Amino acid sequence: MAAQLGSAERPLRVAVIGSGPAGFYAAESLLKRPNLTCSIDIFNRFPTPYGLVRDGVAPDHQSIKSVTRVFDKILENPQVRFFGNVTFGKDISHDEIKRYYDQIIYAVGAQTDRRMGIPGEDFLGSFPATAFVGWYNGHPDYRDLEFDLSCERVVVVGNGNVAMDVTRILAADPDELAKSDIADHALAALRKSKIREIMMLGRRGPAQSSFTNPELKEFGELAGVDVRVDPADLALDELSEQSLAENRVAAKNMETLREYALKTTFPAPRRIYMRFLYSPVEILGEDGKMTGVVIERNQLVPDGKGGLKAIGNGVKDRIRAGMILRSVGYKGQPLADVPFNEANATIANVAGRVVDPATQEPVAGEYVVGWIKRGPSGLIGNNKPDSIATADAMVEDISSVTPIDDENRDPAKISTLLAERGVVIVNSNDWKKLNEYELNMGKQQGRPRVKVTRVDEMLSIINK
Ligand code: NAP
């Protein structure tokens, strides 16, 4: 009789697709189970792990990145292997992964942006904020984008923390950013920036903002930057005023915004202008390039779910601007042969178990964590309990799992398959080498790291 699945004689073979925080936390949770032996392979599209910790967290927020020490420890565990530079659906198919692993965890995050659906959205100069984030963080997909920073005003749409990040990076003193791991190409472009005003537009009021208070306070601490808030924008309707009693973050934000609104002169070389209850309704342009934005004043009305939504009141204004960053949320993308819920752009799941969207029946052995499970919201730490919950479901299901054929249990098989296919696998040691290279380059320049931003360059450093 075959040994029990998940025992030392017959470890549970788990594939994690994606190496961001959610995937690592799920792996960590499985490794910590006292009566479970598993062997975990983490696949990642790029040679570099850590997902949005590397590619999303702003370069001037280095302390947030220290969480990678936890992930490094997981990579050092002999039960874990890293398969960087391997794309699910291209280098390895869903069927093949099913052949070699008892359980699969999808941890691919939300790979694209939501669109606004307004005229002019595709003019040159109109970008999703997520592209700008990828660019300044040296993400290989975005490193060759060109952002023309020669204009005086940029409009940032949205009131979440991503909007705060992109606004801060545009406003910050490049000499300060030079102390961070911001991508070299972005730093060079920001040094030549002519931008004097970054106008943030929140479609709802200040009490409905999604940003958190430390991020709002940081605006006031930026050297050479004034923060402008119009006092009239802070007048709250009755429901918003009441909501402050239950929402501490919103109450603190109101306090900070009221302090900013006391300012009446703005002599600093750069300015962040935060406006509330405004939506862009059209992006204006000439010869394919944007020249400005039409904004409409909003009013708040009950949304029928106990909250407030914004609707335009017909009063419009034109603003000259050379760039607009639409920061209205990330969006999940389907994976080949994995059930997808178009309505909320997540992998179809019930509490982390992938399901057939038509029947809601679980798809045996397939699980999901992170933003592709619950949508693009929450901080890095929010992924931990969420991933543990999925790992609980996986453990609960072990007794009912149909194990893979024992002949496919040998961990060498997957490496051989990929190698035969010509896929250059970046393993944990390879990543360590690249990591040390980046850290050393950083040390020489007095920075935390200097990022390598092209995959071929990463591979040549690894293979040196
Ligand atoms: P978010 O927090 O969901 O914010 C999205 C913003 O876009 C909201 O203000 C939303 O307004 C607005 N919006 C949506 N559709 C819009 C439209 N059609 N027109 C105008 N505005 C629109 O998302 P996010 O900023 O992308 O951040 C994603 C997650 O990552 C969040 O949980 C965030 O806290 C986290 N994050 C954290 C940090 C940090 O800790 N420093 C940094 C970056 C990201 P409504 O509220 O009216 O819908």
- Residue 113: CB within 6 Å of ligand 1? no
Helix (H) / strand (E) containing 383: helix 383-397
Beta carbon of 279 within 6 Å of any ligand 1 atom:
yes
159 alpha carbon to ligand 1 midpoint, in Å?
6
pLDDT of residue 2: 80
As a whole number of angstroms, the distance between CA 19 and CA 382 comes to 16
Predicted local confidence at residue 364, as pLDDT: 96
Percent of the chain with pLDDT over 70: 100
Q: In which residue ranges of the chain is pLDDT below 70?
A: 1
Q: Is the CB of 328 under 6 A from ligand 1?
A: yes
Separation of CA 279 and ligand 1 centre (Å): 14
383 lines ligand 1 (CB under 6 A): no
Look at residue 306 in the predicted model and tell me its pLDDT: 87
pLDDT in tens, 111-129: 999 999 999 999 999 999 9
Cβ of residue 438 lying under 6 Å from some atom of ligand 1: no
Report the nearest atom of ligand 1 relative to the CA of 328: 7
Burial 358-390 (b: 16+ CB within 10 A, else e): eeeebbebbbbbbbbbbbbeeebebbbebbbeb
Ligand 1 close to Cβ of residue 379 (< 6 A): yes
298 lines ligand 1 (CB under 6 A): no
- Measured CA distances, 169 to 116, 185, 326, 354 (Å): 23, 14, 15, 38
Name the residue of 53, 127, 162, 308 to mutate for ligand 1: max ligand atoms within 8 A of Cβ.
Answer: 162
pLDDT tens-digit profile of 353-384?
A: 999 999 999 999 999 999 999 999 999 999 99
The pTM of the full predicted model, rounded to 2 decimals, is 0.97
For the chain, the average pLDDT equals 97
Give the position of tokens 């109450």.
251
* Domains assigned to the chain: 12-111+332-426 (3.40.50.720), 113-330 (3.50.50.60)
